[in-house]
Amino acid sequence: MSNTNITKEEIMGVFPKVAATMADALGCDVEEVKLDASLIDDLGAESIDFLDIVFRLERAFKVKIPRGKIVEEARGDLSEAEFDQGGVVSAAGFERLKSFLNEVPAERFKSPMKVAEIPRLFTVGTFCKMVLRQQRAAAATAPPA
């Protein structure tokens, strides 16, 4: 599912509610939940927090968010073998990842990157885009009024 045409305006449209939801999940002040904050490195999120955040976002935005699909979507048309080479992101996969996660500050992408390290890149903005993609998907499949 492409996200290259998600605008900054769209992201900022959902950001306040995403930030408030994340602050509730993480037990932090909403002021700490900045758009480019890394969930793991800046906000201290653990795996249970990712689950909590996704389920809360689903309830807040009334969308279904497929879990564990970000890496699959970032891969695009690259096969798993072309993307993941012995647990390390391939050169082609790395470029695809940077393009898909274009909300992540460029300096955070360090090559070579282990596939298991990809979640460390995820920012609040990553989840804003996730919500927007699911809203678009829901709108595309909704029956005509």
Partner 1 sequence: MDEHFRAFTFVDRINSIHPGVRIRGSYAIPQGIGSFPASLVAEAVGQLAAWSAMAALDFKCRPVAGLAANIEMLSAVRPGQVLELAAELETVDAEAVAYGGTAHADGVPVIRLQHCVGPMIPLEDFDDPQVLRARLALLQGDGAVPGGFRGVPTFPLDRSGGETGKSLRATLQVPTSASFFADHFPRRPVFPGTLLMNANLELAAALAAQLPAPAVGESWVLRGVSDVKLRAFTPPGETLEIEARLNQHLPEGATLTVETRKGKRVISGARVRLAPEGVV
Residues that bind partner 1 (CB under 8 A): 24, 27, 46-49, 51-52, 55-56, 59, 67-68
Nearer to partner 1, 61 or 96 (CB): 61
Number of helices and strands in the chain (H, E): 6, 2
Closer Cβ to partner 1, 59 or 87, answer by number:
59
Minimum Å distance from CB 64 to partner 1? 8
CA angle 65, 68, 72 (to 5 degrees): 105
Smallest gap from Cβ 24 to partner 1, in A, equals: 7
Minimum distance of partner 1 from residue 112's CB (angstroms): 27
Q: Is the dihedral of CA 95, 36, 130, 145 positive or negative?
A: negative
Which amino acid is residue 137, in one-letter code? A
d(CA 56, CA 122): 17
Q: Smaller CB distance to partner 1: residue 34 or 56? A: 56
